[in-house]
Structure 1
């Protein structure tokens, strides 16, 4: 006995069943041949990459986001699910997607290991004074920098305990650090010694040796770190920002660095990108700047596809995706 198949509709013709429709998955980005084949094999769908507007309009599921998808969304389409190619979705029309009841899943976690490793690099740089040694090398000076320390037993406060925060916490624990987290309600998360609610942020900031901002951008997180937060930090503490640039008040951070309110900072994300050549941040002596490189990884596409295929198992049963599904009320 034949049944309706999730990859197509079946029609009985002269006693036989034949496929008359096949689900379409369209990617706005190019995919490696093996990934495209994997998608087609595991979903039973027709997979199109670097899709045109016409192809996107016929797709039930779209991978990625660009102006073509935005155009298609405003007209007649068959879209039921958007798989973002980014962890953040602050540039998506969330209200419109919610109104149209379109699922939106993020790429959260795909670049978390790489970001965590880069943050660990920042921590080691500041703890071992590698940036100072580099300057001494360029000056041909044989000198031991003052204040070299181990990460062992240093207190790391991670604001944002999502996939990035969890990956970093695991690495930091391996270095013997005391790891604390801040999230919306203060719920406990694995690999953290303790967690606090965001309303307690200014209470826990003074105790931290390193503060890592891994927050997403939502209407509630803009300028989470501003004058009061930097004032609450120890003047021996370092601030590291790898979430979204708009969660940091750049002017307040610059003042904190210039006035010695904090020991230094490592910034990978900024309120405006690229960072202007005229920005005074470039020339501050106690800052490390990277050009939004923390998320770069050679495993990105593979991890997104694996996450998508996990969710597809739920979707083909008529259920909502289980992993990285955006809560439109929260904005992430």
Structure 2
């Protein structure tokens, strides 16, 4: 079947999970599209010109890479690219693009939501409601509280803008220290993280996963935080040393955590994080708003049009850095 496919149209392999991406008609009219699951990826990659990793949590690409004999472009339907950024891709000439920009505002809303949930003690109110108990308490204000957003890409910036609008005082931590940033004001150097953590009431992790950021939130980082600080992770689970986080929560080194991502997903049933007090858990859904799958396909379709027309692609990832550098997200 593959041998009879017309070569005048590019061949696109699409790695799917349980369902195919929606609204692919515009692409299907201009390419030979091979939909596949992880088991069939090697066959689908043979002779393919491009790969759309719609199942962005899949780890199947490295194992099938040997079959990518004419691949020129790989697009992943997420902002994070760590599932596909392995040595074979790094060392190749294949262009890597991501779906930067789709989830920014939704994740920012999630972060504001959990900040409010902590400050207003919503979880406790819900528990008391179920028990039929009337227990008056006082809640916290969020205005004027200090937030450190670790990761200064577009998601971090959307978080900073929304929290500032709510009256919070926001700074950032990134690769380079600077002042006068339009969203963060001050950006601290991530290498000096433990020096700035003691000032934050909320610490939000949204950094990309790289060799420099993996495990950056460890026992030393948690020990540097205020005992009243809350930790929010909407970046990658591997940014955190989970055992150190559990210890910090158990010993009340920090006051609480809102966690949307984990180093093992789904979170194992035996994980103590499920039952620790003052921990909010969501199943990697902070950016998944109604219609997000259609938006992901729209982003890919526009890049596919550009690719076919020989125009610059949007969201080209620097494979050395592991993310799209500022200013290189593409035109439009």
Equivalent position of 1:192 in the other structure: 184
Residue segments in structure 2 that go unaligned for 5+ positions in a row = 1-5, 324-332
User: 1:232/1:67 Cα in 2 relative to 1: closer, same or farther (>3 Å)?
Assistant: closer
Which range moved further: 65-74 or 151-160? Answer: 65-74
2:129 aligns to what SS in structure 1?
A: helix
Equivalent position of 1:10 in the other structure: none
User: 1:314/1:36 Cα in 2 relative to 1: closer, same or farther (>3 Å)?
Assistant: closer
State whether residues 11 and 34 of structure 2, in contact with CA within 8 Å, keep that contact through their aligned partners in structure 1.
yes
2:67 aligns to what SS in structure 1?
A: coil
Residue segments in structure 1 that go unaligned for 5+ positions in a row = 1-18
State whether residues 178 and 193 of structure 1, in contact with CA within 8 Å, keep that contact through their aligned partners in structure 2.
no
TM-score, length of structure 1 as denominator length: 0.83
1:25 aligns with 2:12: yes
Q: 2: CA distance between counterparts of 1:244 and 1:93?
A: 14
Equivalent position of 1:5 in the other structure: none
Larger Rg: 1
1:98 aligns with 2:115: no
User: 1:76/1:103 Cα in 2 relative to 1: closer, same or farther (>3 Å)?
Assistant: closer
User: 1:299/1:252 Cα in 2 relative to 1: closer, same or farther (>3 Å)?
Assistant: same
State whether residues 94 and 328 of structure 1, in contact with CA within 8 Å, keep that contact through their aligned partners in structure 2.
no
TM-score, length of structure 2 as denominator length: 0.83
State whether residues 90 and 217 of structure 1, in contact with CA within 8 Å, keep that contact through their aligned partners in structure 2.
yes
Q: 1: CA distance between counterparts of 2:203 and 2:64?
A: 42
| Displacement after TM superposition at 1:319 (Å) | 6.1
State whether residues 103 and 320 of structure 1, in contact with CA within 8 Å, keep that contact through their aligned partners in structure 2.
no
User: 1:67/1:231 Cα in 2 relative to 1: closer, same or farther (>3 Å)?
Assistant: closer
| Displacement after TM superposition at 1:309 (Å) | 4.3
| Displacement after TM superposition at 1:288 (Å) | 1.4
Q: 2:137 aligns with which of 124, 139, 145?
A: 145
User: 1:255/1:211 Cα in 2 relative to 1: closer, same or farther (>3 Å)?
Assistant: same
How many equivalent residue pairs?
Answer: 308
